């Protein structure tokens, strides 16, 4: 295992998730329950599963598409989604 990749991935994902809607939803669930352990286990399990799926699909895609193209497409998608959110009228349903 590449320890540098492990710590880099941890740091980037940790910083990206701070204040994310997933963290805020988990926060909200924790305020409404008498079982914070259940909220932790549920949210941790969901994050592990989504990360697992991302690694599996990312590995498969990397065999067909160069990584540079994937990064460019992901960046473009983030920009398009951000512009869409900024420019769409408030309350408009998709």
Q: pLDDT (tens digit, 9 = 90+) per residue, 11-35? A: 998 888 888 888 899 999 999 999 9
Tell me the per-residue pLDDT of 37-77, one tens digit each, with 9 for 90 and over: 999 999 999 999 999 999 999 999 999 999 899 999 999 99
Residue 90's pLDDT band, with cuts at 50, 70 and 90, is: low
Residue 93's pLDDT is what? 56
The pTM score is 0.69
CA distances from 80 to 12, 55, 57, 72, 85 (A): 22, 24, 22, 12, 9
């Amino acid at each position: 295992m590449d320890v540098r990749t492990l710590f880099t991935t941890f740091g980037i994902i940790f910083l990206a998730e701070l204040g994310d809607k997933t963290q805020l939803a988990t926060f909200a669930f924790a305020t409404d329950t008498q079982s914070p352990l259940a909220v932790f286990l549920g949210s941790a399990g969901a994050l592990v599963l989504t990360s697992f799926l991302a690694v599996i699909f990312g590995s498969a895609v990397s065999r067909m598409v160069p990584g540079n193209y994937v990064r460019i497409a992901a960046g473009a998608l983030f920009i398009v989604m951000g512009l869409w959110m900024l420019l769409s009228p408030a309350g408009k349903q998709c």
